[in-house]
């Protein structure tokens, strides 16, 4: 039998890891750190965080829809706010329920932009991420190794949708 303390640490590690994925994507796109985003394409250098991917890397039945949104400044802001919001919430353990469900929707939208997935006709990492994010929300993983308990007492106790 597995002790529940061990399971809590696994959920906390998954939460922090998923948060770091979002936070790193935000930082790379903001500064153009040279990983997924070249320095000259960073948002602070005048680049669009959505233009390159949406214009050139989308495929499948929804490609036209996504390509029509490429480089839209409102979408750029929403995308970047989503990345940083999800990253900070998950790393710190605050608002994990809303971050988990919103993050699952976010990664499913990313999944739908490249159909079918390159290495498997249905499944790719975005689907796994969605399951992990929903799991984080369901077990309220912010209450372990983070600020989730403090967040609940101070902010979310009277606003359950912010848990």
pLDDT tens-digit profile of 54-111? 999 999 999 999 999 999 999 999 999 999 999 999 999 999 999 999 999 999 999 9
CB atoms within 10 A of CB 24: 15
Q: Is the pLDDT of residue 18 over 80?
A: yes
Residue 70: DSSP 8-state: T
In this predicted structure, the answer to whether residue 157 has a pLDDT above a threshold of 80 is no
Mean pLDDT, residues 125-151 taken together? 92
CA distances from 144 to 70, 95, 114 (A): 39, 13, 35
The predicted pLDDT at position 161 comes to: 67
Considering all CA atoms of the chain, what is the largest pairwise distance in Å, rounded to the nearest integer?
A: 54
Query: Does position 1 have pLDDT exceeding 50, yes or no?
Result: no
Mean pLDDT of the chain: 92
Whether 3 has a pLDDT exceeding 70, the answer reads: no
34 pLDDT more than 90: yes
Q: CA dist 118 to 122, 123, 157, Å? A: 9, 10, 43
Task: Note the pLDDT of residue 121.
Answer: 85
32, 49 contact by CB (below 8 A):
no
Do residues 148 and 162 make contact, with C-beta atoms less than 8 angstroms apart?
A: no
Per the listing, tokens 């919103």 go with: 102
Integer Cα distance of 86 and 19 in angstroms? 6
Instruction: Tell me how crowded residue 143 is: count the other CB atoms within 10 A of its CB.
Output: 19
């Amino acid at each position: 039998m597995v002790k529940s303390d061990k399971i809590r640490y696994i959920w906390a590690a998954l939460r922090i890891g998923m948060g770091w994925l979002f936070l790193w994507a935000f930082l790379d796109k903001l500064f153009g750190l040279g990983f997924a985003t070249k320095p000259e394409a960073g948002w602070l250098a005048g680049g669009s965080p959505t233009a390159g991917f949406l214009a050139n890397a989308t495929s499948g039945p929804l490609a036209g829809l996504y390509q029509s949104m490429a480089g839209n400044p409102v979408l750029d802001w929403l995308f970047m706010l989503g990345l940083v919001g999800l990253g900070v919430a998950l790393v710190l353990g605050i608002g994990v329920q809303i971050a988990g469900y919103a993050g699952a929707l976010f990664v499913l939208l990313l999944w739908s932009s490249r159909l079918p997935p390159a290495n498997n006709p249905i499944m790719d990492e975005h689907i796994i991420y969605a399951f992990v994010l929903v799991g984080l929300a369901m077990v309220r993983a912010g209450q372990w190794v983070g600020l989730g308990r403090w967040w609940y007492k101070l902010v979310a106790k009277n606003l359950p949708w912010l848990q």
